[in-house]
Structures are given as structure tokens and as C-alpha cells.
Amino acid sequence: MVFFLGTTARKIVDGYGQVAATVGVTAFLVRNPEYAALVITIGSVALLTVAFLRYWCFRFRIDEDRILIREGFLRRTELDLPYERIQGVNIQRRLTERVLGLVTVVLDTPGSIAAEGQLPTVKPEVADRLLERVATHRHGLVAGGPPTVTDAPPESGERPPAAGDVQAAVTDRHSFRGQGRVLQTLTPADLVRMGLAHPRGLFLLVLLAFLGSRSDWVKDTTLKAFGVARSAVGGLGALETTLVATVLVLGCVVLSRAGGVAAAFRNYHRFTLWREGRSYRTRAGLMTEEEVVVKVRKIQMLRLYQNLVQRYFRRYRLETPTIGGSLEDDDYESEGLDADDLEVPWADDALVEEMRSGVFRGEGEQLALLPTDEAFKSVSPYYIRAAALRFLILGWLGGLLVLYVSTWISLVYIGSDALAPEDYIRLSRGLGFAALVWGGVCLVTALPIGWLRWRRHGYMHDDDGIVCRSGLIGYEVEACLFRKTQAVTVKQSPLQRRHGLATLDVETSTGSVTVPYIDHGVACRLRDYALYRAESSGRPWY
């Protein structure tokens, strides 16, 4: 009972105690500003004391077959992590670590989403030694013994590496000097273009507007600014008023795009992509520099995205979802350890083709990843009806949600006491009229939008894999190999059954490739063939 009482109290404190303490201290300082210096001094001393105790109690040891990590002052935690359970070794370098020449090593294991353990602010030589021990253990070179080689042949038909080859590869390729063939390095101009294409700045602007609506000071300042603007605009002509409104709209757009550019520099500063044997490696980050390594054999799919701005610059965002799990004994690769999913945020046509051929490695030669390829086949025109009906319903409901939320924010700014009952009646009538107008707009535009979505939808397949293309303004392309298939589903809606159509869903361990509104017989044959290739292939799916 004492144990469960303690764990319950700890969950409550972790969930609500920190927020309550922060709000309480802030409210106390607002009402009693004369105690600010005392509170800041006590907080600083407590912070330094806790930090010193955590540093003093943190210890780690790198053994021949495992790493041991011990931390905690009041609550002692000891982690015993064998090397065969380490799935990913990620390298992060925050701004202070780059100044001091240090790195943080994050260790991932299968079976847990969060990182199992980490070595914060260690020297790069320590990280190199850990990577060397893990890779050496993978290849059976513990304590100078002979390599362990199973009967399974390498996936590409190459010979297993010898002990000297593995040791040299570990020494060269696990260092932080970026060995291998460089495929891409982003420039500041590329980051600016990426920021212009990123919608995060617009979301940030909306979030700031919502948070500002909850602050009396922001509301008062905004209302005063609107009053000054209304007085200034009231004395201007129609042309001057239009210009002022245009400047205000452009200012909001500039602010939103500035947020996107800042996010691009923070996440992808000095982004570099390498190809190291049968692995890909990326390094990027402004405040926190992070390295990601993925093996080609663990990549389950390829996803390609392109929005309107990226279409203008003829660039794409490429993702390579990977399967988790520890490496098997027949994995002879020594170029790196699996980590997070790899992302190429600003790829051109040549790099996309390079990645496609490098990931598929001789398979799917007739498959294309670029959305403008002429080999894509169109789905049934009946898809136009389904897409138009979906947009009519969801678009109308979404527009109503935006309308009522924006009205609510405006009422928060103005204040409900400032409106008379007749003002509420006029407001309700105006909202109803706006809902009818928006419904008419959705009704008129539903059919053209359905047609555009049908034009964007397409698919292709060969003996090795399948690709599907979709989108409205931009593109989304998903590709996978049949031998990596986990399940295949053929689904039919009432409209599809009436016209002999179906939707094919090829599932992998990291996602699915969905092809809607194709002939039912074609979908069934592709389903059977994909399962046949997955069951008969002698190559592993992971």
C-alpha cells in the first residue's frame, strides 16, 4: 500500500505539480514583487545544487559486451544494456557542446519508443569507442576472437567482411568526420527557400493570436491599435484604404514566412547527406546538431512530398521509414547502426533518383518516384464523384468550424458585455448567411476539386513493387517493394461494388501504399501477386 500510494502521488505531482508550482510562484511574485530577488536567489541555489548532485552521481562504464549507466541521488537507477540490444546510436551536439567540443550519445533499443539511455556531454573519443565496441560485438570480434559468420549469404551477394576490414570500417566510418560519398549539402539560400515552403510559420501566427486573446494587456493594446488604424483609415480615400489593408495582410504573411525560415535554420543548418556503403547518414542542426544513420536494408518504404512552393523551386521532401529491431547475425554491414527515420528535406530530381536506386538496389527498376513521370496510370473516373462528395461534406464542416472559432476569438477581444441583444441577433443572422454562402462555394468547387484530385491520383507497378501518387495542389508519392509486404487488403465501398471497382491497400511495417478505385480483378491479382512475392522471396523483409 505504501508503494502504490507513493507511485500515485508521484504521477499526480509529475502531471500537475510542476504546472501548479509555476503558476503559484508567478502569482506570488506578481502580487509581492519585493520578494523577487529572494525567490530568484533560492531558486538559483536549488538549481545549482540539484545539477551538481546529478552530475556527481552520474557514472558509466563501457565494457566488452555491454554498457552500464548509473544515475540518481535520492532514487538510484542502474541501466545494464548489452550491445546486441542497441538498435540505434544517435549523436547530438547542442550549441554549448559544440563550443566545448563535446557530444551527447543517445542509445535506442527495440521495444521502447523513448531512448533507453544516453551519455550526455562526453568527448567524441568516448562516442567513437562505444560505436567501435558495439560494431565489433555485432561482427563477433569480441576480445580479438574470430568473426562469427552464419550460413546465410549477404543480401547483395558480396563476401562477408574479414576481421581487419570490419575493424578498419569501424574506425573510419563511425567517427564524426563525415566519411563516405557526400550526396547533398544545403546552403543558406536553400534553407530560406525551405522556410518559405514550410507552413509552420502560419500555425505559429495563429497560435500567438489565440494566446494573445487570453491576455488582457494584449487585448487592450490590440484594440487601441485598431482604434488608431480606424481613425487613420477613416480619413483616407478608397485607394489609400486598400493599400493600408494590403500592407497589413502582407505583414502577416511576412511574419508567418519568417517563422518558417527560422524553423528551417534551426532544424537543418549545415545539413549534409552521405552514402556510406549500404547506409545513409545525415547531420544537421543549429542549436542541437544531430546525426542520423539508417541502413538500406531496414528501409521499408519511400515517401515523397511536394507542396506548391516546392513545386515552384522543383524540390521535394523525401522520407525513408525504417523498421525497428536489433540487427540479426547475418547482417555483415559495418557502416553504421540503425537510428531514426532519415529525412531529406530539400531534394532535386537527381537526388530523388539517386535515393530510389540506392534504396531499391537493383529491384523495381521500372518504378518511378518522381510525380511527373508519364508511366503513372490513372484510377477510375468514378473517383471524381467520391472525392467531390468528400470535399463537399468535410470542406463545409471545416469552414464552419473556422468561422465560428474566429467569431469566438473576436468576441473575446471585444468582450461580450460590449454587445447589446440586438447585436447578438444580427451576429447570428450573419453567421447563418455566411454558412449558406460557404456551402454554396463548396457546392460549386466540389466537382473541380474532385477532378483535380483524380488527375493527381495514379499508380504503377512492376514485378518487384508498387508506387501510388496522390495530392491536390502538391504531390505525395509512396513506394514499396512487394517482398516487404506485411498484409494486403482489397476493400470495396457500395459505389465501388456497383461499378466493379476496389481499393488496394499494400501494408508494410511502417505504413501502407493505398491505390483507390481500380478494377476489382486487377486489385485481386495484385493482392495475390504481392503475397506470393513476399512469401517466396529468399531475401529478408527487414
Characterize 235-271 residue by residue with b for buried, 16 or more Cβ atoms within 10 angstroms of its Cβ, and e for exposed. Answer: eeeeeeeeeeeeeeeeeeeeebbebbbbbbbebbeeb
Q: Which are the contacts of 10, defined by CB distance < 8 A and separation ≥ 6? A: none
Tens of pLDDT, residue by residue, the chain (542 residues): 777 777 777 777 776 777 777 778 887 887 888 888 888 888 889 888 888 888 999 999 998 888 999 988 887 888 888 887 777 777 888 878 888 888 888 887 765 555 578 888 899 999 888 888 887 776 664 444 433 323 333 443 333 444 444 444 343 333 444 457 899 999 999 988 888 776 554 455 455 555 454 455 555 665 565 565 556 555 555 555 566 666 766 776 677 677 778 888 888 989 999 998 888 989 898 888 888 888 888 899 999 999 888 888 999 999 998 875 444 434 434 344 444 578 999 999 999 999 999 999 889 889 999 999 999 999 999 999 999 999 999 989 988 888 887 777 667 666 656 667 777 777 788 888 888 888 899 999 999 999 999 999 999 999 999 999 999 888 999 999 999 998 999 999 998 999 999 999 999 988 899 999 999 999 999 999 999 998 888 877 76
**Packed helices 18-31 and 36-57: angle between N→C axes, nearest 10 degrees:** 150
**What is the grid cell recorded at 52?**
551538481
**Packed helices 124-138 and 163-173: angle between N→C axes, nearest 10 degrees:** 150
**Is the Cβ–Cβ distance between 273 and 344 less than 8 Å?**
yes
**What is the grid cell recorded at 225?**
491599435
How far apart, in whole angstroms, are the C-alpha atoms of residue 338 and residue 294? 5
**Is the Cβ–Cβ distance between 256 and 204 less than 8 Å?**
yes
Question: Model pTM?
Answer: 0.66
How far apart, in whole angstroms, are the C-alpha atoms of residue 266 and residue 274? 20
